[in-house]
Every structure is written in structure tokens, then in C-alpha cells.
Structure 1
Amino acid sequence: MTIPKLTGYELPVAADIPATKVDWAFDPARAALLIHDMQDYFINFWARDDAMITQMVENIAALRRFCKQQGIPVYYTAQPDNQSDADRALLNDMWGPGINQHPEQKTIIAALAPEADDTVLVKWRYSAFIRSPLEQMLKESGRDQLLICGVYAHIGCMTTATDAFMRDIQPFMVADALGDFSREEHLAALKYTAGRTGRVVLTRELIPQAEALPASKAALKALILPLLDEDEHPGDDENLIDYGLDSVRMMALAAKWRKVHGDLDFVMLAKSPTIDAWWALLSRGIQP
């Protein structure tokens, strides 16, 4: 009758992205960002310190910052807490009273709180387009691409993507900026979207600065090995300085990676100069 307690999982990576049937190119001049249902009510079904949710929120925040830099409009959906039975209709049968019983949790989470120039849409059904001015607002602003992130991937996010497709708006599901009941349902939503209604992308594909990051721990090692003086390869937990990595090269790496992780500096790299420690820093949610 209601949403179950949820447990985090590994967010999709490049190997999980299904083949797409369309070759739509993301164009900031045509795009809008939709942050879907990121209200306390829906996020509180996970534990407060869930690592997956932390990473997902960081990726959404990075997308929002990038969109604002590019002049891309940002929309939110949020369910109201005073829905009548007529308003909820069949949602009552499927999910019960929902947020009506938790009015104190209707707020969009603090980490993604809307700003004055953002648009918050009242959410009545799975699709963000139902009983909403979203389609009209997109058309009036000349936007026919919709970046979709938030929760839940296989319910409102996928339905909104399908509805966008039906309205000749190109949907882009941002795979690592979505959350779902389970990894299986998350991947199923991506597969359906890629095969029927849109494109599935990763955050780093939309944010050019993310190209500064290695895509995997193996890619990080491949980047570091040529910088070492020793012929022997260090283990992932061994000190890279002992293998000849000098401070000048470390400073150059810090400057490059700071384009994505604004909080990263030479001191952070020098404090724990191992592949494991650096990958932990770099594989966090993207932070321009």
C-alpha cells in the first residue's frame, strides 16, 4: 500500500548504460532540467546516511550548477500535502494517502532547495506533464530537450520521459542522477527509455569539465603509472611517493581534477597518496 523502506545500491556506470536507438545530441540551447520529486518524504525511505543517495544528490546538484551556468532553465516537481481523494484518485488504491499523512516532509531536500529563478511544478500524477504547464513553458522558451533526474526512476521519471517523447520533447534520463526502489528496477527503467522513448546518459557526459576525471580505477592507474620512476607497479594501497611520484606532478593532477571537484587540492592528494585513496576522492559525485 505504501513505499517500502529502501536500501542503496551501486549507481549505474558506463558499462550499465543500454544501447540507444537515437543519436540525439545534447544541446544546452534546447535543454531544460527537471529535478523530479526530490522531497523529504520520498528521500526519507532511505537511511539518512545512505551513500547512494549522497552521490545521487551530489550529481543532481552538479547538473543544476552546470545548467545555471549555461542558462538552462531548471524545473522541479513536488507533490502537495493536501490532495483530496478526487485529486489522488487511483493513487490512493496503489500507494495509500502518501504525503498527505506527512505534511512536514513535503519540502524539497535542503541540498537541492529551489532558487528564486527556478520553477516548482505541482505534481499530480506519475508524469510531470499532467495538470501542469510544463509543456507550454518548454515550448514558449524554445526548449525541446528534457534532462530528467530524481526519484523514482521506474515510476515518475520513466513515465515523464515517455510522456515527453509523446509530446515531441527529447528526454534524456541521467542514469547516475536517479534513484529507485532497487538496482534492478533502476536498470529496467533505463533499458525501457533507451529502447523506446529517449537517451540514457551519465552526468559526466553532460558536464564537459568531467572529462578531466578518469572514468574508472583502472583508468586512474593507467594515468599514474607513466608518472612513476620505478619499474615495479605499486599496489592500490601503496604509497605512490615511494615509487617516484613527485610533488610537481601531484600539483598538476590536483589542478586538473579541481575542475570537477572544487574542494580537491594538493594537500588532499599528498595526505593519502595511494590509488585507493585517490579513487575514493575522484569517484564522488561530480562537484564543479
Structure 2
Amino acid sequence: MSIRKIESYHLPLKQDYPEAKVDWKIDKQRAALLIHDMQDYFINFYGEESPLIQIVMHNISKLKAWCVQNDIPVYYTAQPAKQDYQDRALLNDMWGAGLTAYPEQADIVKQLAPTKHDLVLTKWRYSAFYRSDLEQLLKKEQRDQLIICGVYAHIGVLQTAAEAFMNGIKPFVIADSVADFSLKDHLFALQYVQRNLGVVHHVNQLVRS
């Protein structure tokens, strides 16, 4: 019912997933960055010595630095340390108590800790838009593109990208700045984005622009 230890795997390459169906380009004046669920609890399943998560965190740091340099707003999601059973609802059936059983692991990982300039959104379900102000904040900032990184690719990252698309916000998932339970799950998420709702990029492709 809980998450099992996640084994390291090699990050996907561009040839591992199909070309996007759209030719959307990231516009620095229209984009925002979402760092998704990078809390100690979720990252601890990879283990302290995981090469995968170390590379992903390094890439997210690089991605965030590029966004800050280009005045692109940065948002985080974080599940609350405590949720009552009714509020957690069906997540109890799927994942058990989850983070609420380990409230001491609720912080964003130290390497990616938000600054006073960033906004942390409370996360209630897979999608970052559910019961949050994310859509309204993006509209206020006149941002209709969302760059997404973090964990887990085939769950919250993918659901957030799908809801962005359905709300008229173009999602861009950064292939080597997300992590998942396995390479198979990771590739599923990237393939789904490219085929149905957005564009997949790699961090170096973006920060060179």
C-alpha cells in the first residue's frame, strides 16, 4: 500500500519517446516553473546514494536558476504534514497514511529549499491544481505556460500537466528533471505528454536558450 524502495535507473534519452505533436516553444514572458512534490518523504524512497535522484535534483537546481535569472516565477507543491482521514479520502485506500505518518519528512529537500521569492502551494491530490490557487496565480501573472519538474512523473506530474492543458495552459515536462518508480513509468509519462497534451524538453536544451 505504501511506496516501495525505488531502484536507480538511467534517465530517458530523446530517442526513447516520440516527437511532440505540437511545436510549442517556451516563452520566458509567459512561463512559470512548478517544482512538484520534492519533499523529503517522497525523495527518501530513492535512498541517500541514488545516482538517479542526485542527477534529477542537480538538474532541477539548474532549471530553477535559469528561471530566476529570467524572472520566471517559481512555484512548489508540498503535501501538508498532517491530513485527517476524511480529507485524505481515497488516497488512504491507494497509498495508506503516506506522508501524514511521517510529518518530520514534510520539508522540501534541502538542496531545493524555496526562498522568500518562491510560493509553496499546499498539495491535496495528484494534480497541483486541485484545491489550490495555481490557476488563478498563473492568470494574475499572465502566464499560460507551465514548466514542470519533480516527482513522480506518471502520477502527480502527469496529472498536473493534463489539468494544465485542460485549463488552456501549455505544459512542458522536463524529462531529466523528473523521476519516477521505474524507467517504464517514467517513459509512460513522457510518451503520454508528447502524444496527448504537451511538450517534453531536457534541461540543457532549455537553459541554453
- TM bucket (normalised to shorter chain) is over 0.9
Q: Report the structure, 1 or 2, having the larger strand content.
A: 2
Offset at 1:47? 1.5
Deviation digits for residues 134-179 of structure 1 (CA, Å, limit 9, x no counterpart): 0000000010000000000000000000000000000001000000
Other-structure match for 1:260: none
Distance, in Å, in 2 between the alignment partners of 1:142 and 1:48 is 39
- Secondary structure of the corresponding residue to residue 120 of structure 1: strand
Deviation digits for residues 6-45 of structure 1 (CA, Å, limit 9, x no counterpart): 0110011222242111110111110000000000000000
Offset at 1:81? 1.3
Distance, in Å, in 2 between the alignment partners of 1:28 and 1:9 is 31
Distance, in Å, in 1 between the alignment partners of 2:151 and 2:118 is 19
- Secondary structure of the corresponding residue to residue 142 of structure 1: coil
Structure 2: unaligned runs, 5 residues or longer: none
1:8 pairs with 2:8: yes
Higher relative contact order (CA 8 A, sep 6+): 2
Q: Which amino acid aligns with 1:91?
A: L
State whether residues 79 and 122 of structure 1, in contact with CA within 8 Å, keep that contact through their aligned partners in structure 2.
yes
Where in structure 1 do 4 or more consecutive aligned residues deviate above 6 Å? none
Other-structure match for 1:75: 75
Q: Which amino acid aligns with 2:200?
A: V
Other-structure match for 1:181: 181
Distance, in Å, in 2 between the alignment partners of 1:4 and 1:18 is 29
Other-structure match for 2:22: 22
Deviation digits for residues 174-212 of structure 1 (CA, Å, limit 9, x no counterpart): 000000000000000000111011001111121117xxx
Deviation digits for residues 64-119 of structure 1 (CA, Å, limit 9, x no counterpart): 00000000000000000110112110000000000111011000000000000000
Other-structure match for 2:156: 156
State whether residues 17 and 201 of structure 1, in contact with CA within 8 Å, keep that contact through their aligned partners in structure 2.
no
Other-structure match for 2:64: 64
Other-structure match for 1:95: 95
State whether residues 34 and 77 of structure 1, in contact with CA within 8 Å, keep that contact through their aligned partners in structure 2.
yes
Q: Identity percentage over the alignment?
A: 55
Distance, in Å, in 1 between the alignment partners of 2:204 and 2:5 is 30
Number of aligned residue pairs: 209
State the TM-score, normalized to the length of structure 2.
0.98
Q: Which amino acid aligns with 2:127?
A: S
Other-structure match for 1:165: 165
Q: Which has the larger radius of gyration?
A: 1
Other-structure match for 2:194: 194
- Secondary structure of the corresponding residue to residue 44 of structure 1: helix
- Secondary structure of the corresponding residue to residue 149 of structure 2: strand
State whether residues 17 and 200 of structure 1, in contact with CA within 8 Å, keep that contact through their aligned partners in structure 2.
no
What value does the CA root-mean-square deviation take over the aligned residues? 0.8
Other-structure match for 2:110: 110
Distance, in Å, in 2 between the alignment partners of 1:2 and 1:47 is 15
Distance, in Å, in 2 between the alignment partners of 1:13 and 1:195 is 16
